[in-house]
Chain A
Amino acid sequence: MKINENASIKIPTKLIVPIITFILGAVFFYIGLDYGFWDSNALKPTKGFFPTIMSVALMIFSILGIVNGAKAEKVEFKLANWFVPAGLLAVIGASYIIGLVPAIIIFEFVWLRLYEKVSWKATIITLAIVVFIVVCCFQIWLGIDFPVGLIGNLIFG
């Protein structure tokens, strides 16, 4: 099955975004009130004081955003842009089995060579740069232990 990466969908996000921020404000407001607003004995604000005020402000401005966004044009989202988070999720999934570093190397190879059809020379140079960044900079120099995955655990215990 061939995927048409130029496929796109138009969504009214200029309206949806302020609706989401309004809901976010409402949730923070509701929970914030539960935390308490003002300690009348000690005459000081409680932990809900600041977020409650800010959530009210967010709700007010979100209503303005909703009014502005109601008549705005829909925004076009192309399928190709979503390959980026999809690729990331694939690497995360693969890292549980083969480990993070091999998963990144395979991802780079698949993306460059199979998806973008970049030349072998450019693929190898790019892979070398990525390996240098991940292994030399992060793993060796910064001492980050990346997950070795199920297979790595079986081999190295």
Chain B
Amino acid sequence: MENLSMLMHGFSVVLTFENVLVCLIGALLGLVVGAMPGIGSLAGVALLLPLTYKFNPTTAIIMLGALYYSNMFGGAFSAILLNIPGDSPAVMTALDGYPMATTRKRPGQALFVSNMSSCIGGIIGMLILTFMGPLLADIGLKFGPAEMTVLLLVAMTSIGWLVGSNPTNGVILTFVGILLASVGMDLQTGSPRYNFGNIYLLGGIKFIPFVIGAVGFAQVMRLMDERNDKTESQITEKLTYKNSLPTKHDFKRLLFPALRTGFVGTFVGVLPGAGATTASFLGYAMQRAFKSEDPLGTGAIEGIAACEAANNAAAAGAFAPLLALGIPGSGTGAVLLGGLMMWGLNPGPLLFTNEPDFAWGLIASLFLANLFALSIALGVIPVLIKILTVPVKIIIPVIISVCLVGSYSDTYSFYGVLIMLIAGVFGYIFEKSGYGTAPMLLSFVLAPLLEDNLRKAFVISGGSVAKVFFNGPISIGLTIAFCAIVSAPIIRLILKKAGLLKPKKAN
């Protein structure tokens, strides 16, 4: 009950004119960014970061949270109407969404089902977050520097391991991110470190230009491959609000799959590296075990509901470890965490105690963003095709300019632009070579926290490695997990060399 009263307090924080307005703007931008194929929530959040300078931390993160969350709604639009998922979690939505829109000639209903399921999944995720967030924080309070060190190592390497197809590549970029974060000042002694005599590097590699480059600018370079693609809809029916309304029977069909996968999706969202995409895949797979009125893959309402509810629930669930332990579960979470740290907030077990206005305000804002996203999503149905068919070649120069001014405004100099450019070019080369940049962003954000805890743990242990990594049951368990994660690529390579594991075809 205490959690619910704190949630009410959160609503009192959110329900100011400024916060409601930024939540609405965040939801609107998130829908647009999510709907446009190729941009994605990570780039969307990264590009929007500089626009939040003007706000206080609570308002700023409300905007970013709303953007991230409503992005999940938007991703489904292009999946349903164009068969092009706006974001990776919407890949599964296309399997039933597009056939329902084209073969069954019910595009409006497909969008409606998707939006309603997203809303239901989101509400489930947020309710679980309301109770689980403080619970996780209580567990986190039991963690000393030694346990936090191993937990952070597990979180960082597991995401490097889980994201992308090659675990070794993910782990390599995890360590690259850690080393890049070491540039600047040693926070404990205040002395310069790895600045190579450069005065600009004394302040370290700036987070905003770095993330705008590695995500936004790299994405524009990739979009050049798609700039001549024609995004034409095969839908001949005119989309109006009236002919998009689902029947009572449609609603009955979506309700149970949405409730079921909303619950499961939330817990998938809590796991590091899993996130909305995994939740969406799992939700769809789970639906196969249950009865659907139409076969899955032929435009079944149950299929759309299952994956949309799961991915929105996961997006909400991902906030639990982010707020309670300071550990993001995805690249987007890492950008949000970087934003929080930039505004002087330290997510972790003490956040709910020290910054209740912020923590509960953010959770309450997600409920609000959910309602805004649903209303906007339903409201834009008649003009959706026009939004979705904006050619990529027009979007490219706009994003280049946003990257430029966004990175300039962080440093008030071209130093920020230079960081953005270098990060962007390397981000592009990394991605093309099979090195996903999300682990690098995550480790870049978490590295100072890891270093601080590691050094504290070694001071407490008097230099004993065993006392850090085998301090108690929590440390031992996490150390075993960490060893398994980092040794897996090595074992895989040995097995491959010994001929016991079939090598994958090079892509």
Contact = CB atoms under 8 A, between A and B. Distances in A.
Contact of B421 (A28, A82, A85, A144): A85
Nearest to B190: A47
Given A77-B432, A144-B409, A47 B168 contact: no
Interface in B139-179: 166, 168-169, 171-173, 175-176, 178-179
Interface in A22-69: 24-25, 28, 31, 35, 38, 43-51, 54-55, 57-58, 61-62, 64-65, 67-68
Interface stretch (B13-21, B240-248, B394-402): B394-402
B175 A112 contact: no
B172 A141 contact: no
B398 A44 contact: no
B77 interface: no
B221 interface: yes
A136 B454 CA distance: 45
Contacts of B489: 61, 64
Contacts, number: 182
B168 A65 contact: yes
Nearest to B428: A81
Contact of A43 (B54, B173, B417, B462): B462
Contact of A83 (B176, B224, B490): B224
A107 B171 CA distance: 39
B37 interface: no
Contacts of A54: 175, 178-179, 182
A137 B50 CA distance: 10
B408 A133 contact: no
Contact of B459 (A45, A72, A116): A45
A107 B397 contact: yes
A35 B195 CA distance: 12
A47 B191 contact: yes
Contacts of B178: 51, 54
B398 A126 contact: yes
A111 B394 CA distance: 9
A112 B400 CA distance: 12
B189 interface: yes
A151 interface: no
B433 A14 contact: yes
Contacts of B221: 81-82, 84-85
Interface string B271-290: 00000000000000000000
Contacts of A108: 397-398, 401
Contact of B168 (A64, A88, A116, A122): A64
Contact of A64 (B193, B459, B490): B490
B393 interface: yes
A71 B193 contact: no
A138 interface: yes
B188 interface: yes
A49 B493 contact: no
B401 A107 contact: yes
Interface residues of A, number: 69
A47 B451 CA distance: 10
A144 to B, nearest CB: 4
Contacts of A7: none
A75 interface: yes
Nearest to B489: A64
Contact of B394 (A72, A82, A122, A142): A122
B255 to A, nearest CB: 40
Nearest to A79: B224
A92 interface: yes
A138 B405 contact: yes
B463 interface: yes
B435 interface: yes
B342 interface: no
A66 B419 CA distance: 26
A12 B495 CA distance: 25
Interface of B: 50-51, 53-54, 166, 168-169, 171-173, 175-176, 178-179, 182, 186, 188-189, 191, 193-194, 217, 220-222, 224-225, 227, 391, 393-394, 396-398, 400-406, 408-409, 412, 414, 417, 421, 424-425, 428-430, 432-435, 450-451, 454-455, 458-459, 462-463, 486, 489-490, 493, 506-507
Given A17-B433, A47-B189, A54-B175, 11 more contacts: A14-B506, A17-B429, A18-B172, A21-B173, A50-B454, A64-B489, A80-B227, A84-B221, A88-B400, A122-B394, A133-B401
Q: Which 7 A-B pairs have CB atoms at the shortest separation, nearest pair first? A: A47-B186, A58-B175, A13-B433, A111-B397, A51-B182, A144-B409, A50-B451
11 contacts: A24-B176, A45-B454, A49-B454, A50-B450, A61-B171, A61-B175, A65-B168, A84-B224, A107-B400, A138-B406, A141-B54
